Amino acid sequence: MKSLQKESTRLGWAAFFMVLMAFMVTRPMFAQNAAPADPMKAIVDNSSAMRIGIDTVWVLVTAMLVFWMNAGFALVESGLCQAKNCTNILAKNFIVFAASTISFWVLGWGLMFGDGNGFIGLNGLWLVSGTDNSPALGEAYAAMNPFSTVKYEGVYSAINWTPVPLWAKFFFQLVFAGTAATIVSGAVAERIKFGAFLIFSFLLVAFIYPVTGHWIWGGGFLGSNNFRDFAGSSVVHSVGGWAALAGVIALGPRLGKYGKDGKINAIPGHSMTSAALGVLVLWLGWFGFNPGSTMSAGNGTAIAHILVNTNMAAATGALGALLTAWILLKKPDLSMILNGCLAGLVAITAPCAFVSIGSGAIIGLFGGALVVLAVLMFDRLKLDDPVGALSVHLVNGIWGTLALGLFYDNQVSTDIAALATGLTRSQQFMVQLKGVFWVGLFAFTASMVFWYLLKLTMGIRVSVDEEMEGLDVGEHGNRAYPDFVITGTTTISESRI
């Protein structure tokens, strides 16, 4: 999605000056070479290559920032779990990107971006092997690279609006798919079989993520009916959240989390240092996630607006959670503040290019408050989520998608996202609501089917003894901290089921 500019005048001037400069720089060369065929063509081609180079660097560097979010998730999730399960969580978060890479390459990309019908991609399905002459642009997007003279021909036309090569598009989309898969890891932590998680990750990135992704970003029925999601509150975060929710239901809570008398026992995470650093890594990574989703460096105003909106919501999200926790729980619990920052980031991911900065601040603040309430709510419902992934990614993915409608600004949407719908806020809200419904229905149902298939075949939960002992030794044969004496939480042993 994004950036189909209407700034041809400005681009025209830019083009003029670039051609002029390129001409001045290259003139001596032409003077020496005998009779160049067409100097103007050479200059235009050079300028086109330069433009493609700049855009490609932007897309790949921001993709690398998003890749690095894997490190953030690994730190957050391992920090918020017990020391006896630390190796297991790190192993899951590490291998999930490897699984995503293969899955998205083999099938995910094709299902998501291949030309097809409103529901799935059908062309160029396997191994990103369809015809494609990227970085050539689609008819409607010539302004994205005014020097390019070649028109797009290929089977991935839903993403022919960005002037970068196919593999840059692939890598950028891959790191997003990987993010969705890594969300599941934290919610199902401390009790899931490593093998079952690995297989589910393959399935999620090969089938579930790309289907809903096709609906929104791949030319499917939601995106073409005015549903908007700039960088993936729905596409990435709520899809990961729905898959996680299905996993949490299929698995059941950790031993001792909910007492027989209805008491909710805390199972404290083992390293707040790790969790806090992880969130800082994620906060940085989000500066790739949202601003990078322009997939072009051509519109500086858009990038700056999106980046500041992203930062604003992260800041107000942290503050919103801090205030809510302080008032409701009497203390500003750090783990809640960390969740609040992430909640703000998830919530602003869809609307960052469609709403004003002020709206972004409100969206984040509300997201931060929401995440604290959601953590308490999921515990009441006995849905055990050790790291708050459901509250952060599912609840705030939905909130952000709806907030795009509530705070929709047609001027911002024209200038920044270049994807204005012209609808009123209430109309846009209804469109967003329908999208949330369809994405939720499919992602949750499909995830449930996969989780139960795994449960009935290989089993998804480790044995009671292994869970008590820790998954580090049970699943991987060694401990994260072999040289330290670690004392287990006392609350767990009392209610061994």
- Contacts with other proteins, residue ranges (CB under 8 A): 264-269, 328-331, 333, 335-336, 372, 375-376, 379, 388, 485, 487, 489-491
Strands (E), 119-265: none
Choose between 260 and 331: whose C-beta lies nearer to other proteins: 331
Angle formed at CA 477 by CA 476 and CA 478, multiple of 5 degrees: 100
Local structure of residue 409 (DSSP, 8 states):
-
Q: Which residues contact 306 (CB under 8 A, 6 or more apart)?
A: 230, 290, 291, 293, 294, 352, 353, 416
Minimal distance in Å, beta carbon 98 to other proteins?
31
Choose between 414 and 489: whose C-beta lies nearer to other proteins: 489
Choose between 130 and 388: whose C-beta lies nearer to other proteins: 388
SS3 399: helix
Minimal distance in Å, beta carbon 306 to other proteins?
31
Minimal distance in Å, beta carbon 79 to other proteins?
13
Choose between 427 and 491: whose C-beta lies nearer to other proteins: 491
Helices (H) and strands (E) in the chain, counts: 19, 0
Q: Which long-range contacts (CB under 8 A, 24 or more apart) does 46-51 make?
A: 46/22, 47/15, 47/18, 47/19, 47/22, 47/147, 48/145, 48/147, 48/148, 48/149, 50/18, 50/22, 51/145, 51/146, 51/147, 51/148, 51/163, 51/298
Local structure of residue 355 (DSSP, 8 states):
S
Minimal distance in Å, beta carbon 366 to other proteins?
19
Tokens of 388: 């708050």
158 vs 318: CA distance, rounded Å: 36
Choose between 83 and 222: whose C-beta lies nearer to other proteins: 83
393 vs 399: CA distance, rounded Å: 10
Choose between 188 and 352: whose C-beta lies nearer to other proteins: 188
Tokens of 105: 């390459």
Minimal distance in Å, beta carbon 321 to other proteins?
11
Minimal distance in Å, beta carbon 263 to other proteins?
8
Minimal distance in Å, beta carbon 96 to other proteins?
24
Q: Are 338 and 286 in contact (CB under 8 A)?
A: no
Rounded alpha-carbon distances, angstroms, from residue 163 to 141, 170, 224, 254, 264: 9, 13, 21, 48, 53
Cα-only R_g, the chain: 24
SS3 487: coil
Minimal distance in Å, beta carbon 329 to other proteins?
6
The answer, yes or no, to whether the previous bond of 135 is cis (omega within 30 of 0) is: yes
Name residue, tokens 């083009």. 15
Choose between 17 and 484: whose C-beta lies nearer to other proteins: 484
Choose between 260 and 477: whose C-beta lies nearer to other proteins: 260
295 vs 162: CA distance, rounded Å: 6
Minimal distance in Å, beta carbon 257 to other proteins?
9
Choose between 334 and 468: whose C-beta lies nearer to other proteins: 334
Choose between 48 and 324: whose C-beta lies nearer to other proteins: 324
Minimal distance in Å, beta carbon 491 to other proteins?
5
